[in-house]
Amino acid sequence: MKELVVLSGKGGAGKTTVSAALATHWAWRAVLVDADVDGANLHLVLRPRANRATRFMEGKLPRWVSDRCTGCGVCTQVCRFGAIEGGQVARITCEGCGLCAQKCPQGALQMVERHSGDWFVGRTPCGPLVHARLRPGEGNSGKLVALLKEEARGLAARSGLERILCDGPPGAACAATASLAGAAAVLTVADPSSSGLHDLGRVLDLAQRFAVPAYTAVNRADLAPELSDAVDEECRSQGVPVLAHIPFDPAVLHCVDRGVPVSAQPDAPAARVLAKLAAALDDLMGPSESHNGEARGSRRSASDRPLMAGAPTEES
């Protein structure tokens, strides 16, 4: 089983557009993961059905037992984070240290598990999708990403799917690091802008630290040819192949507005480049045996994938 992670150093570079296009070209060969747990949106394009939701419980939070509380104010005094007032907890600032519960003379505060988010498994026209929603202000995004990837690996093993395609989180912090663990390759989606160039460097450094082979696709390359050349140069200097220059294409905006992958308009210029990118990555990921012994490129029968009605099309 091989994992490809799609990363960009910042949001808005086109990572999800690229991931959704790869998903349609690799339909039912990969388990899909949206590891952007703070702002998942792959599900908006691939529209999973039959979602199974599970709570993500991480850390602790004080629960106030109001009828025991005398209003003494000790909890407010001891909390360094200003997160509790007379037993009432502001969860966004509470760090879950438990000091208030320890010091409460009435035992009116009990530390309980914290519901930090939810994660989902659903079926899309392109394969199973694992994604999540972290509640605002919650930490532990890296842990949630690691959990999603673990779930995806189990799902791939059980379903006989040969790959994991992970739409990674933006940036190069904890969640991006977690998404890279165990990856066979990373595709960086670069924006031809000075900030895009800077962020590309951070992601490539990260990939190098994990010793994961990196490839790059430059999105909207024709909008800023000089900066696109600078991205090429940066990649060349780091020995990172640039696999695609995706043109700016109004069809992409149209597809985003409609909530469908750009492959829904296969003749659009960006869709053609993305199809070639998927084929190039297919070759680079190398031959892979699925768990049921089928060779790479084999397709599951229609009866094996009851929800697969083909990738969404402009007509559908």
- If 0-12 CB within 10 Å is exposed, 13-18 middle and 19+ buried, where does residue 41 land? middle
Please report how close the Cβ of residue 137 comes to ligand SF4 at its closest, in angstroms.
13
Contact between 190 and ligand SF4 by CB under 6 A: the answer reads no
Please compute Rg for the chain using Cα positions: 22
Binding flags for ligand SF4, 90-129, as an x/- string (CB under 6 A) = ----xxxxxxx---x-x-xx--------------------
Q: From the list 39, 53, 54, 81, which residue makes contact with ligand SF4 (rule: CB under 6 A)?
A: 81
Q: Which is nearer to ligand SF4, 69 or 174 (CB)?
A: 69
CA distances from 241 to 135, 195, 226, 237 (A): 37, 20, 18, 10
109 vs 278, beta carbon nearer ligand SF4: 109
Reduced to 3 states (helix: H, G, I; strand: E, B; else coil), residue 271 is helix
Tell me how many residues contact ligand SF4 (CB under 6 A). 26
Binder of ligand SF4 out of 22, 42, 74, 277 (CB under 6 A): 74
Q: Is residue 139 a contact point for ligand SF4 (CB under 6 A)?
A: no
Among 9, 14, 48, 62, interactor with ligand SF4 by CB under 6 A: 62
Whole-number minimum distance, CB 76 to ligand SF4, in Å? 7
Confirm or reject binding of residue 72 to ligand SF4 (CB under 6 A): yes
Q: Give the span between the Cα atoms of 265 and 24, in whole angstroms.
A: 12
DSSP 122-186: EEETTEEEEEEEEPTT---HHHHHHHHHHHHHHHHHHHT--EEEEEPPSSSSHHHHHHHTT-SEE
- Decide: is 185 part of the binding site for ligand SF4 (CB under 6 A): no
String of contacts with ligand SF4 for each residue 253-292, x by CB under 6 A? ----------------------------------------
Give the integer Cα–Cα distance in Å for 279 and 293. 22
Q: In the chain, what is the greatest distance between 2 CA atoms, to the nearest angstrom? A: 70
Starting at the edge strand that comes first in sequence, how are the strands of the sheet with 30-34 ordered? 49-64, 109-124, 127-134, 30-34, 163-167, 2-7, 185-190, 214-219, 242-246
Using CB under 6 A, list all residues that contact ligand SF4.
62, 69-75, 79, 81, 83-84, 86-87, 89, 94-100, 104, 106, 108-109
